[in-house]
Amino acid sequence: MYLEPDAYRRLKRIAKDRACPPAQLLREAVAAYVARHERRRVARSVGAFRSGRRDLSERAEALLAGLGRSK
């Protein structure tokens, strides 16, 4: 990663004050940026249909048992 000389000097000063390497500050900054701008993808079909059952969350494992197995 390339930084402007002034930005790098300031980053090194902050890193020194925090007693950590400048690379750690960059990793933290990138992680925060990605978390803030990352879209959470949800299938469009989630919540689109009604099964008529009110116990799906409690019985999910039992209802899905055997799914995908050949008969």
Residue-wise pLDDT tens digits, 19-63: 999 999 999 999 999 988 887 776 776 667 777 777 877 888 887
Q: Specify the pLDDT at position 22.
A: 97
What are the sequence ranges of the domains in the chain? 1-39
Contact 7, 15 (CB under 8 A): no
pTM of the complete model = 0.53
d(CA 29, CA 31): 5
d(CA 21, CA 60): 48
Structure tokens at 23: 């690379």
Q: Which fold has domain 1-39?
A: Arc Repressor Mutant (1.10.1220)
